[in-house]
Structure formats: C-alpha cells, structure tokens
Amino acid sequence: MLLSIEDLQKSYPGPEGPVPVLRGVTLSLDAGETLALTGESGSGKSTLLHLVAGLDAADGGRVLLDGQEITALDDRGRAKLRRNAVGIIFQQFNLIPSLDVAANIAFQARLNGTAEPRELSRLASALGLEAQLRKYPEQLSGGQQQRVAIARALAARPKLILADEPTGNLDEATADEVLEQFLALVTGTGAALLMVTHSPRLAARLGRRAHLSQGRLA
C-alpha cells in the first residue's frame, strides 16, 4: 500500500464555530493505481488533496505515504516529502511566469536532484511541447499550460501524483486529449494517481472511483 488515509478529519473556523469539512475519511491507494475522487462543490475533495499533499494540517486521523506519516511531520518535513515524493497538478496551472517552458518543466526535478535532460525531453515530446520550450507561460494556450504543469509534476518522478481538477479550465475536446496523454504517461511511471474531478465522464477513465458527500465517503 502506497497511500493510507485513516479517519481523516478537518474543520475550518466559521462565525458560529468550527465547520467540519472532512468527517473521518478512510481510503487507500496502491502503487500504480489510479483513483478519481468525485463529489459536489464543498464536499471536501480539494481539502482532502491538500492534506495528503501536506499543504495543510489535519485535525485528526493519519495520512501515510510509503510508510511515512505525513500528518506527524512539521511544515519543513511535509515540504521535503512533497518535494521528493509527490507531484501536484492544479486546475490553475501554477506555472512560474518568469521561467520559460523548459525551466518550468525542470523546476521540481531540479529541486529534488532528479533532473535528467533526456527525461525532460521525452516528456516534452510526449506532450507536444517541443516547439514551446523557449516560450513563457503567458504565450501558451490553456491546454499547453496544463501540459507543462503535467510534465513538471512527472519530471520529478514522484511516487504519488495528486491532480485537482486538472482539466477543469479546458474545453471538453482539449480536456479529453490532455487527460489521455496524462494517463498514458502516469501508467508508464508506476506512480499512483489521486485525481479530483467533478466530471463522471472523466472519472470513468480511471481505475477506481470514490465519492465524497458532506465530508464522508459515500
């Protein structure tokens, strides 16, 4: 088991006291598995992803990645684990505007010391980015920017890939094309994938599906 989520709980402050967002979520994922997490807006999907990534701290429960308890680490420890073992793909792309495409793709891999020119070139080719490497994010279409974000996450060779609505800003045809390329590349890495999506159609493309409702798995 690569990822183990045990009785995970999270609340946020509200005007009348804490507002529960996750109410005891338990979930597991093996290496190489792909899982789509669906649910209505406000059900806790993105919160769950942020806790697994170590971007936020849980109120209760545990998250273990490859045997290491993320929820027991401090901010520095979570950042190190995220840098070395987790690839994150956001709906808003989160590219660095001052870096060209090649540098954006290599960014996380360089941080964790795994950057290899041959691998970066392979990813750029697989995602149709070869002609865009010297361009900057603002010069790219939405689909191209999302492909750069995917390449950046995969270039660091993570054990776990977290994707939060990775095609949510794309039209349906582009979303289908990007997701197909993404899933083919993930399969080749052996990494596990946990993907948040509001689309049952896209969720059906992954190996497993879990549904969050009011902070619990339905």
How far, in Å, CA of 81 to CA of 88, rounded?
A: 12
Q: Residue 168 has what pLDDT? A: 84
Domains present along the chain, CATH in parentheses: 31-55+80-217 (3.40.50.300)
Please spell the DSSP secondary structure of 101-133, one letter per residue: HHHHHHHHHHHTT---HHHHHHHHHHTT-GGGT
Q: Residue 151 has what pLDDT? A: 96
Q: pLDDT by residue (tens digit) across 92-120?
A: 889 999 999 999 999 999 999 999 999 99
**Which uninterrupted H or E stretch holds 26?**
strand 19-29
Q: pLDDT by residue (tens digit) across 115-137?
A: 999 999 999 999 999 999 999 99
How far, in Å, CA of 6 to CA of 11, rounded?
A: 16
pTM given for the model: 0.94
Q: Residue 184 has what pLDDT? A: 93
